[in-house]
Structure 1
């Protein structure tokens, strides 16, 4: 690999003889992995289902290495949301954050969704996940991944981090800042990171990271946990930015100890010799099967000293509480096709965004999120059309087959691929909406009539071939 000369010179200065090992690691093939979606099954159950070999990831019980020749995104189980394709070392940051059911968690730089979906798996449907992504194109990918994994307690926002402060001032138990960075750890995985790298880019990233951390500080509860991670080796974006942050705000560093990961933050790479930075974790690709990362865990001591004075806002929100009259067609659909336990559990959390119906996560008030740019204010249930309600893909993926009254569970892989391609299914079933599954797991909706099931799998997600 033709590494930038400035990068090589910098790492030789910092790492001395160790730098040769780092440079050599870029010539090795990238590591591929998948992570179990424990909202749907256990790692042991997934391992038994998979048609390819796996090897466990030491620091993440839900993670597996897979062979570089495997194409996990082409398997029907992928479309069932049973796993997320994720590079194994990228799983470490959420392991350090350690979300628990009931926590309010913010993923501040969330796209494409690997870490957000990992957080959601650990929340097990309890508590709140706010997944924020500023870049519009990336936010759409995030939304699709959240839906495919069947996550019902997530809000997806498309905001500058500072815009969230007015709505969620000191509200989160845990925050992940997987910061935009110079991407030195991704050179062999992402050619774009290699071509875009420069010393000037490192400096620009530091400025962005400082602003993001400022917002994270104001969003985190007293006593809350902030995990900051990057995929760069640059001390400016890692040890030094954390040293500056904790010199300004009152935080304690906690040790990040994960099995199989033994490199730590380097005191000699800080500006003032900060000893506690050794509690941070460095993942170095010449020592671990994977890419490069830096992870630090911070605990907030006390409250923010400044008051929240944010007053900026948008026009009045289009999100509104759904009335009994609004819900007529939805309730007719729900009573016919969903089990009572599922739809009654949504209670009074139903809201309209235009013609689209959402179930907000428990504990969220309309006034809290009214002024935010919302891609998904919760679980998207479907859309009201003329004299009918059409259920969404997100609802299908959040349902277990046992929670629908009309089910077509495909056992044959060829039939599953046909459905994913958008073809109608020649399968007799009760007339009306049908939850399509594959070997016991939801895939999407269809609508049965005259012995055929019309395909309602989203056109943008359909596959062209295996």
Structure 2
């Protein structure tokens, strides 16, 4: 007979959790037999929760610790939904919504998400910025960063830079530069055993001791990059004391100007951290543990820290564009497509065929490994401009007069997402158009004689 998930838990892990939890261990252990809670978070760059709930008849239950988060049934109707493909929401485990929710973001902040793939927390931070300031999203793994980039592009984030660097390499050029930093650190993943049982084997190979050393190296770099007066979230998806309270104890012992501060965001089932488990500083108790036997979510740990001192302006060498005026191919496309945005030539960057629009006050990156700098607009090819899907996703109806908006029930929506040709009104003038659903952009198409040639990115194709 196949063992239950509870029976598959590593023995060393079980003994450690029994020691920590005492009389609560049975309730904790029984949680491994309960169903996994599916969640989604609204992308407020595009829609508010209230607007979304008016738009659909979906039955969604709010997540108490994230105002934009909801539980859903786990049905494929949410991932196989044109509104999902339009970037209106991001499918995210409910507990994983907490770290980005905790970080207080102000308009114009310069933010670093240091271990950002696959992008759930980065897209949440971008939504909080509402197009202001700058988001630098980094992941050391170039392969994982591909998913990060796709999610940032699909969410319509214009003001981001995506890097694939070792955090140690960021600390020098970015010392004292960021208002806010989020470190969702690589960890032993104990909190994900229910959702991803395969992680148990990885835990037996590389457990808490391995990851706690790595985490301390990462927070060393993060603290260097944090401004005086800046705030940092440290989070993991593990129960390990070494990786949670132990890492906070390390920070407080080695950085007297760093302090754990109370988390303002409340929610049902949130529990305090345990400084007594490490004979540590009492302020560690301000951090929060998310236990699966207390709430509807997986296991997480989140701490909010602040660096002493008065905030100062970020001073760094700025990246500037490398062309003096709008390329004629791009200017012609703007006229033909009805895009009503004024692009500053000094922020346009042409790298080979690729044309991007730099975020305002973007840093000069030198030799840092970058995957994307700013808003990727498209490619200039053979004296014509081919727009990117990212360009389309960043546009709103008020910013583009050539817009074909389809109802959710229109069969052409799915056809478009499958990269098929569409039939449109023969009275529609020829040229470039945004194809949208319910007022939200999906991508580009080119109309000629009542037929729309599909320009939806093939990598995003509906499967």
How far apart are residue 320 of structure 1 and its match? 7.2
1:328-407 map, 5 Å? 328-340=328-340, 342=341, 344-346=342-344, 348-365=346-363, 368-407=364-403
Q: What is the CA–CA distance in structure 2 between the aligned matches of 1:20 and 1:274, rounded to whole Å?
A: 29
1:286 counterpart = 2:283: no
Gapped regions of structure 2 (runs ≥ 5): 311-318
Q: What is the CA–CA distance in structure 2 between the aligned matches of 1:328 and 1:243, rounded to whole Å?
A: 58
- Deviation string, structure 1 residues 48-102 (Cα, Å, up to 9, x no partner): 2234210111111111111133531111000111111111111111121121221
- After superposition, the Cα gap between the structure-2 partners of 1:325 and 1:44, relative to the gap in structure 1 and judged at 3 Å, is closer
How far apart are residue 386 of structure 1 and its match? 0.7
Secondary structure of 1:167's counterpart equals coil
Partner of 2:115: 109
8 Å CA contact 1:434–1:447 kept in 2: the answer is yes
1:124-139 map, 5 Å? 124-139=130-145
Partner of 1:201: 207
Q: What is the CA–CA distance in structure 2 between the aligned matches of 1:373 and 1:284, rounded to whole Å?
A: 37
How far apart are residue 14 of structure 1 and its match? 1.5
8 Å CA contact 1:103–1:127 kept in 2: the answer is yes
Q: What is the CA–CA distance in structure 1 between the aligned matches of 2:280 and 2:208, rounded to whole Å?
A: 21
Partner of 1:75: 81
- Deviation string, structure 1 residues 411-445 (Cα, Å, up to 9, x no partner): 24421111001100111332121110112110000
Secondary structure of 2:302's counterpart equals strand
Q: What is the CA–CA distance in structure 1 between the aligned matches of 2:368 and 2:352, rounded to whole Å?
A: 15
Partner of 2:313: none
1:155-304 map, 5 Å? 155-198=161-204, 200-249=206-255, 250-257=257-264, 258-270=266-278, 272-302=279-309
Partner of 1:311: none
- After superposition, the Cα gap between the structure-2 partners of 1:346 and 1:122, relative to the gap in structure 1 and judged at 3 Å, is farther
Q: What is the CA–CA distance in structure 2 between the aligned matches of 1:199 and 1:269, rounded to whole Å?
A: 24
Partner of 2:314: none
Query: Once structures 1 and 2 are overlaid, which stretch shifts more, 368-377 or 223-232?
Result: 368-377
1:427 counterpart = 2:424: yes
How far apart are residue 268 of structure 1 and its match? 1.9
Partner of 1:327: 327
Gapped regions of structure 1 (runs ≥ 5): 304-318
- After superposition, the Cα gap between the structure-2 partners of 1:155 and 1:383, relative to the gap in structure 1 and judged at 3 Å, is same
- Deviation string, structure 1 residues 5-29 (Cα, Å, up to 9, x no partner): 1110111112112121111111111
How far apart are residue 199 of structure 1 and its match? 7.3
How far apart are residue 325 of structure 1 and its match? 6.2
Partner of 1:448: 447
Which TM-score applies when normalising by structure 2? 0.93
Secondary structure of 1:443's counterpart equals strand
- After superposition, the Cα gap between the structure-2 partners of 1:200 and 1:142, relative to the gap in structure 1 and judged at 3 Å, is closer
Query: Once structures 1 and 2 are overlaid, which stretch shifts more, 83-92 or 228-237?
Result: 83-92
- Deviation string, structure 1 residues 109-143 (Cα, Å, up to 9, x no partner): 00111100000110000011001011111100000
How far apart are residue 461 of structure 1 and its match? 1.1
How many residue pairs end up in the alignment? 447
How far apart are residue 364 of structure 1 and its match? 1.4
Q: What is the CA–CA distance in structure 2 between the aligned matches of 1:71 and 1:98, rounded to whole Å?
A: 33
Partner of 2:150: 144
8 Å CA contact 2:160–2:374 kept in 1: the answer is yes
Q: What is the CA–CA distance in structure 2 between the aligned matches of 1:225 and 1:347, rounded to whole Å?
A: 34
Secondary structure of 2:79's counterpart equals helix
Partner of 2:65: 59
- After superposition, the Cα gap between the structure-2 partners of 1:438 and 1:94, relative to the gap in structure 1 and judged at 3 Å, is same
Q: What is the CA–CA distance in structure 2 between the aligned matches of 1:435 and 1:346, rounded to whole Å?
A: 22
- Deviation string, structure 1 residues 302-355 (Cα, Å, up to 9, x no partner): 49xxxxxxxxxxxxxxx9723246722111111332333x2x154531112221
Query: Once structures 1 and 2 are overlaid, which stretch shifts more, 46-55 or 21-30?
Result: 46-55
How far apart are residue 162 of structure 1 and its match? 1.4
For residue 45 of structure 1, the aligned residue among 45, 51, 64 is 51
- Deviation string, structure 1 residues 251-310 (Cα, Å, up to 9, x no partner): 11101242224311102211x33211111100101010111110111111249xxxxxxx
Which TM-score applies when normalising by structure 1? 0.92
8 Å CA contact 2:354–2:380 kept in 1: the answer is yes
8 Å CA contact 1:54–1:64 kept in 2: the answer is yes
8 Å CA contact 1:356–1:384 kept in 2: the answer is yes
